[in-house]
Structure 1
């Protein structure tokens, strides 16, 4: 068919260069060792470099603090094993150097034979995502409220009141713009901050759970493993062994 013939003439380079048109999306491709083999302009700016040549061949350890880099690299290893990550909240460094929340998706990179030879992914600054997708205070306000108060008890009714919406309307908007419910968003914020504290501090795991709004250690551990593939103690041991 004609469209198949046209598609066959499009090079891979042309396709991936299209990501340069997306000013709010960070895009990268890494080899099996976690080295960047391609990225878009937004990625270059995100890591504070001036050209793609200053990025190619380097890993997360060259761009991010070690505790963040180790998190990213551990995730990449899991993706290399076939896991997929979709719209997960995680901490990263913003352009101005501050810690910021990003939504990240990663996939295994396969050759024509189906063998996994690397990873690729995209990330978007959550603040910019909300601004771009909604342009509405009714999604921005509950997002900011969660980011500023995630360590406290938060009920869905509180978030609905902050947004001046009904609970059902609030949940519809979160699913539309962030692909998750308000309470899933809250839990992911808590889990990602817990992951950071497991690496940055020597606090007992039960205390980290409590400080991030989890009422019980078992509930925290169960959801931590569901999100990151490991129990908190195992995650801390593996990361610290490689620091």
Structure 2
């Protein structure tokens, strides 16, 4: 029996479609959902419900992201949904800001995959976003990358290459990437991006530096590239974020 035949035989005996909803209810640091072709929630775990400020799943079912999340999160999530539904292409391992249980923003890794109907057309999507937690510096892997991490955190405004950081850590690029993934749950490149975006957010919120100066200060020689990356990650342009963060939008 082929794997496909084995799967077909098994699911033919399952009483109802298996969505994994109950399993994901046990994982409070993961947002899980299924949406239909109109980008409306049809399956959610309890984490989504709570982060959107609802009490029951039925309160969220049928809504789109921009009807459930506050701005700018809702608008960004809906734009992502429509991109997947329109193109049929997945969003994989995207580093972005998410709404945390405290009501404030935190980092996560998001994946969204199209779901296809029997005739091949996109019928909806399934997605997960996993919170990123601060690692322990006491872990056995951390000392091996500590110098490289310190370089990123103190020199994020300069050009940074993974191979140079790996050499600083005394590791091959592959070994360095593996350790970074184990410690931070993201790639070395994503850690650099996260560090730069954190710095940019602080400067936009707390200073009056021109956006071009913020971009340069955070390692971007091209302001337009900085603005594109910032909007993809945060959901707003740098100028929009500055206004919203100061309550002047």
Same fold by TM-score, threshold 0.5 exceeded?
yes
Distance 1:148 1:64 in 2: 31
In structure 2, what is the Cα distance between the partners aligned to 1:61 and 1:139? Answer: 43
Cα-Cα RMSD: 4.4
What is the CA-CA distance between 1:90 and the residue it aligns to? Answer: 0.4
In the TM superposition, residue 6 of structure 1 has moved relative to its aligned partner by 2.7
Which residue is 1:63 aligned to? 68
**Counterpart of 1:214 in 2: which secondary structure?**
coil
| Conserved? CA contact 1:142–1:159, under 8 Å | no
Of 41, 58, 61, the match for 1:36: 41
- Cα distance in 2, alignment partners of residues 45 and 75 from structure 1: 21
SS in 2 for 1:87: strand
2:13 matches 1:9: yes
Q: Deviations over 1:187-230 (max 9, x none)?
A: 366469879x99xxxx9764453353212346547x749x95xx
CA contact (8 A) 1:91 1:193 kept: no
Match of 2:116 among 104, 110, 118: 110
- State the partner residue of 2:243: none
Normalized against structure 2, the TM-score is what? 0.66
> What is the aligned partner in structure 2 of residue 212 from structure 1?
218
**Higher alpha-carbon Rg:** 2
**TM-score, L = length of structure 1:** 0.68
CA–CA distance in 1 between the matches of 2:10 and 2:198?
43
| Equivalent in 71, 74, 77 of residue 72 of structure 1 | 77
1:120–1:87 Cα change, 3 Å = same
Counterpart of 1:123? 129
SS in 1 for 2:133: helix
Q: Distance in 2 between matches of 1:46 and 1:140?
A: 34
5+ residue gaps, structure 2, are 241-248
* Count of aligned positions: 224
